[in-house]
Amino acid sequence: MRSGLMLALGSGLLSSCSAPAARPPARVQAQPLQAEAFERSLNTVSSLEATSEVELASQAGGRVQRLLVQAGTPVVAGQMLVVLDQTQLRADVAALQATAESDALSYQRYKGLVAQGAATALQRDELRAKAIGSREALRAKQADLAYKDVRAPISGVIGDISIKPGDVLQAGTPFSRIIRNAQLQARIDIPANQANAVAKGQRVQLLDGVSPRPLAEGRISQIDPGVSSATQTLLAKATINNSQGLLRNGQRLRTRVLLGAERQLAVPFGAVTRRFGQSFVFVVGTQEQLARDPGKADLGSLRRLPKGTLVALQQPVKLGALQGDRYPVIAGLTPSDRVILSGTLGLRHGSPIRLSR
């Protein structure tokens, strides 16, 4: 009885210590690689400048009474920016207005007297000239009063402001500027050995160095005829639409000039993973292919899988720059490879897989 009991216990112990059942194959979606048209590109740098930039200055001097904007404030054309002290000017305008009205009345009275023979035409003409002079002096002073209100000549964003309330502003002295960042011009440095590859109309992409997706795009509109002897670069210019406001005047950015198209194998953005600066994709493979390059895969467990079970192979690849949602494949894949597009979460090199239909 005891030996039978020990045999039963031993059998149960062996059963509990046996290897756990293998995990079922992961369900994934895959597709064959296809060739697509990709742009050949030239990577360089460019600096941005605003196509519309206006310095702000007052046409009349005076003490700053009110400053209505701050640096970085968006403004629209005609918006009030600065009000200068108007006390003395208003008094001058009032005095000139009284003089102009008096001279106009005198002229009208003498016109009647000349008709009655009580005054000479010479007196009338002298008063007419005086009335005209008074009227023009009033208009000039009223214009000076209007100049005490500094308004935005264009829409844009206010730059750094060098004045504050209470400061005395000299006429014609710039105190800030308005920059319109909605449209910028990229000044692109083209290496001299690539000068013949650049042409008007080619697309330009501006990059921030972090995301592979471009911040903005434009097209080359101007190309200088000569190469700079100091830098050995050719200057090309491109107009950049900055409607989202991601770019700034004076900014220097990595720049990609798209030179022309060629067909290459394409891999979707979502199929690419990165580790330590190296790009990888998972492709559909066989157990025989895995045996030739097992890496850290547990071949013992895989041999217990049914024959013909597919596995995921993690393949290092060299890719070109992202265009749209596709990378051009430079090395690491062949046209016969099937790239795994979904279900990659938790996959390892050698994981058993099952293709979704």
Which residue, of 238, 261, 284, is where some domain finishes? 261
Domain-located, residue 13: no
Domain-located, residue 329: yes
Which residue, of 261, 291, 325, is where some domain finishes? 261
| pLDDT of the residue at 170 | 86
| pLDDT of the residue at 45 | 92
CATH at residue 301: 2.40.420.20
Domain-located, residue 6: no
CATH at residue 168: 2.40.50.100
Burial per residue of 59-71, b for 16 or more beta-carbon CB atoms within 10 angstroms, e otherwise: ebebebeebebee
**174 CB-near residues (< 8 Å, 6+ apart):** 55, 56, 57
Domain-located, residue 3: no
Whole-angstrom distance, CA of residue 221 vs CA of residue 218: 9
CATH at residue 236: 2.40.30.170
Range of the domain at 229: 41-52+184-261
Q: Which helix (H) or strand (E) holds 332?
A: none
15-72 pLDDT per residue, tens: 444 444 456 788 888 999 999 988 788 999 999 998 888 999 988 778 888 999 999 8
Domain-located, residue 1: no
**Which residue type is seen at 283?**
V
101 and 244: one domain?
no
Domain-located, residue 349: yes
| pLDDT of the residue at 16 | 41
| pLDDT of the residue at 23 | 64
The list of the chain residues with pLDDT below 70 reads 1-23, 89, 146, 212
CATH at residue 127: 1.10.287
252 and 345: one domain?
no
77 and 90: one domain?
no
Domain-located, residue 17: no
Domain-located, residue 232: yes
Which residue, of 235, 261, 287, is where some domain finishes? 261
Which class for 189: exposed (0-12), middle (13-18), buried (19 or more C-beta within 10 A)?
A: middle
Number of domains in the chain: 4
341-350 pLDDT per residue, tens: 987 788 889 8
DSSP symbols for 61-75: -EEEEEE---TT-EE
| pLDDT of the residue at 67 | 92
In degrees, rounded to 5, the angle at the alpha carbon of residue 111 between the alpha carbons of residues 109 and 116 is 95
Task: Using alpha carbons, select from 250, 200, 257, 256 the residue that is nearest to residue 225.
Answer: 200
